Amino acid sequence: MQYSLMAGEFSPDSFELDLHNVIRLNFGNGKSLRFGGVIDRADIWIHGDEKYFRVVDYKSSGKVINEKTLAGGLNLQMLLYLFASAERGSKYEGFIPAGVLYNPIQISDIEAEEAKIPDFNQTEVDSQLRTTGLIIDVRYVLEAMESKLSGRYIPAKINKDGTLRSGSSVISSDRMELLKSFVYESLREAAESMYSGDINADPLIEGKKLPCTYCAYSNICGNRIRKIFHKPDAEKIKKAAKILGREVEK
């Protein structure tokens, strides 16, 4: 973390930032939803008249933000915190949301090959500690996060010709606003679903992960055979992919 901060110009501004009851969303017929939480860390960078901030979440395992997770309502927490932090009356009102970073806090054991000297393997360490997330696609802001844009500390990297490498986890400023609307609407839909009593035990399945495997309550939810699941809605995946500026896999 020290090296990553020295590689850029963003600096920590808040730790354990409390966001409880920061924002209220209306849904349904005259109902409202309030949400909040705590941000591990918020970093800021001031560039002339522009003020940027990003939120950082410490994680023991990796997290990704893509069209499938967005469509399924997964990993929205930090995006909600990012947008809520810039709302009127919030601490970062007037700041531009620069993105979300998930910062790994542990690494697996590293074993050197027999032909190599069993010494500190910086490349492997960097690989396991590289952040994931979603950050704004503005070149000078990306360079303020990591000056050489080598992809060592942030999920973005430039090619030798100066273009942004394919697979970089970035989003344009305009699409960031669309993403905000998408995330808020997802929260409204979840609130309306719960309010109407829709709490069926049909958890979302993403990839090959079975969400019931580690659930302590699977024996009482009516899904003990673990065969009742649903997948992200195809239309939502397309909508999320369009917001992210990506093509949907066939």
- The domain limits of the chain are 2-174
In the prediction, which pLDDT does 203 show? Answer: 78
For 125-161, write each residue's pLDDT tens digit: 777 788 899 999 999 999 999 999 998 899 999 998 9
**DSSP code per residue over 215-245:** -TTTTTSS-TT----B---HHHHHHHHHHHT
Is the confidence at residue 82, as pLDDT, over 90? yes
Are 8 and 153 in contact by the 8 Å Cβ rule? The answer is: yes
Mean pLDDT of the chain: 85
Strand (E) or helix (H) holding 34? strand 31-35
Length of the chain, please?
250
Q: What is the pTM of this model?
A: 0.84
For 158-196, write each residue's pLDDT tens digit: 998 989 998 899 999 999 999 999 999 998 988 888 888
Is the confidence at residue 202, as pLDDT, over 60? yes
- Average pLDDT estimate for 80-105: 91
In the prediction, which pLDDT does 114 show? Answer: 63
Neighbours of 11 (CB within 10 A): 10
205 or 1, greater pLDDT: 1
In the prediction, which pLDDT does 20 show? Answer: 76
pLDDT band at 37 (very low <50, low <70, confident <90, very high): confident
In the prediction, which pLDDT does 221 show? Answer: 74
Are 78 and 53 in contact by the 8 Å Cβ rule? The answer is: no
